[in-house]
Structure 1
Amino acid sequence: MDRRTSLQWMLAAASAPLGDSALAAAAARKPAVGYGTDPNLIKTYRPGELWPLTFNAIQRRTAAALCALIIPADEHSPSAADLEVHRFIDEWVSAPYPRHRKDRQLIVHGLGWLEREARRRFGKSFAGSREAQQRLICDDICWAARAAPRLAEAARFFARYRDLTAGGFYTTPEGTKDLRFVGNTPSLTFDGPPSEVLQIVGVA
């Protein structure tokens, strides 16, 4: 329901007694066209419960392999694929909002390009290729300014996918810990900013 319709309902309810024909007429109007109701923010939704997911099995494997390549596991945290960031990206591109629909087209086409390129170069799927082979492909598109003109669209895909991977990874508990972010954590004391920070901003 849009803002205008909401205000109309509120004004009708405030200005008419219960059961008045004006309120009944407002309630009988055709619902506003939109994305549906807001989700219940205290409920845990299963993948695909809010809207149908986009990736097929091949695309999911390719997406997971690319997530692992962009943010691999290290001594501090698991990889983006280990944290199933590719599932977050699938949810993202499946959402029915304009920006997400635009990303869906870019991401799906980009994953298809990776798969075709891996099979053309190495005779294997992207997920089934060795990490060094995956890197050879991604090195050609990871920097848009240096990508060949024929790879401009693939480079645009990689840049967006990299942003989504980082966004998904660093909003998980493990990714937040990897950033050493300590916000939203209860503390009994507050010692103030470190002296090094105060010196940087010129107030120490």
Structure 2
Amino acid sequence: MADTNSKQPKSSSRREFLKNSGIALGGLMVGGVLGGSLFGSKKAEVEKVVEKSVNYNQALMFFNQEQFQLTEAACERIFPQDEHGPGAKELGVAFYIDHQLASPWGINAKDYMTGPFYPGEPTQGMQTSLKRAEIFTLGLQGLADYSKKKYNKRFTDLTEAEQDETLKVFEAGKEYQLAGTSTTGFFSLLRSMTIEGVYADPMYGGNKDMQGWKMRNYPGNQMSFAKDIEKDEFMKIEPKSLHDHMGH
């Protein structure tokens, strides 16, 4: 007859092995026996990496790198850094535009986009069968082509004065024409999206650290103003993003 007591050390040994190796619920027991031996003096380093904040909004969804850099440079001339605060580049406006163009808004998902198409009156804005993402792509290529033709340089390599002059040509819409759309229409879209990116909620990719709001003393998305609504003096309130209210 087998001695059941002889199995106890083996079973106990197996449990100890599983415990010490951290194989519990399919995971590694960091901070346990193995965790301590693996990380040792580097434990603080690991914790630092885990705690490091990462802005996952700063990832391209539509642009390639060249288009992104071109957009970033053009937006900075529309909303440049000055003594009042950061410009479009630091605020992450190009990421905001990238995300919008990658969204249903970029393909005019909620707009009627079936013909017939007629030229619009000046007061009606641009009338086109092209989607916003297509207009922006053509406009960026136009900026690149015009810069090469006029200055024999990339738009991103132009001086600030040359970049401003190029954007003025596109705004006027007379000296240079785009195939399939107008420079004026593209510039109008670029300008409006730049301003949106400066002041939109940071959840959408721009207005980094709510700096656009802070420059305007705008409170952002507060839950309530009930305790301050009847005060006579100007209230400077620390702004809040929609993200700050998640889970409330």
What TM-score, normalized to structure 2? Answer: 0.52
Conservation of the 8 A alpha-carbon contact between 2:75 and 2:88 = yes
Query: 2:94 matched to 1:86?
Result: yes
Cα offset for 1:179?
Answer: 2.2
In structure 1, the residue matched to 2:155 is 126
Residues 81, 138 of structure 1: alpha-carbon distance in 2 compared, 3 angstrom cutoff: same
Cα offset for 1:72?
Answer: 0.3
Distance 2:157 2:176 in 1: 25
Alignment of 1:23-62 (within 5 A): 46=57, 53-62=61-70
Query: 2:176 matched to 1:147?
Result: no
Aligned positions, number: 146
Query: 2:200 matched to 1:174?
Result: no
Q: State the Cα RMSD in Å.
A: 2.7
Which residue identity does 2:100 align to in structure 1? W
In structure 2, the residue matched to 1:99 is 108
Identity %: 26
Residues 120, 87 of structure 1: alpha-carbon distance in 2 compared, 3 angstrom cutoff: same
Which residue identity does 2:144 align to in structure 1? E
Q: Which segments of 5 or more consecutive residues in structure 1 lack a partner in the other structure?
A: 1-43, 195-204
Residues 81, 177 of structure 1: alpha-carbon distance in 2 compared, 3 angstrom cutoff: same
Which residue identity does 1:155 align to in structure 2? T
In structure 2, the residue matched to 1:64 is 72
Larger radius of gyration: 2
Which residue identity does 2:159 align to in structure 1? R
Q: Secondary structure at the match of 1:81?
A: helix
Q: Secondary structure at the match of 1:155?
A: helix
Q: Secondary structure at the match of 1:82?
A: helix
- Structure 1 window deviating more from structure 2 (162-171 vs 173-182): it is 173-182
What TM-score, normalized to structure 1? Answer: 0.62
Which residue identity does 1:84 align to in structure 2? G
Which residue identity does 1:54 align to in structure 2? F
Conservation of the 8 A alpha-carbon contact between 1:47 and 1:91 = no
Q: Secondary structure at the match of 1:141?
A: helix
In structure 1, the residue matched to 2:229 is 190
Q: Which segments of 5 or more consecutive residues in structure 2 lack a partner in the other structure?
A: 1-54, 110-129, 201-206, 234-248
Q: Secondary structure at the match of 1:140?
A: helix
Residues 128, 75 of structure 1: alpha-carbon distance in 2 compared, 3 angstrom cutoff: same
Runs of 4+ in 1 over 2 A off after TM superposition: 44-48, 149-152, 182-194
Conservation of the 8 A alpha-carbon contact between 1:47 and 1:53 = no
Q: Secondary structure at the match of 1:178?
A: helix
In structure 1, the residue matched to 2:32 is none
Cα offset for 1:165?
Answer: 0.8
Distance 2:229 2:141 in 1: 51
Distance 1:73 1:183 in 2: 21
Residues 184, 57 of structure 1: alpha-carbon distance in 2 compared, 3 angstrom cutoff: closer
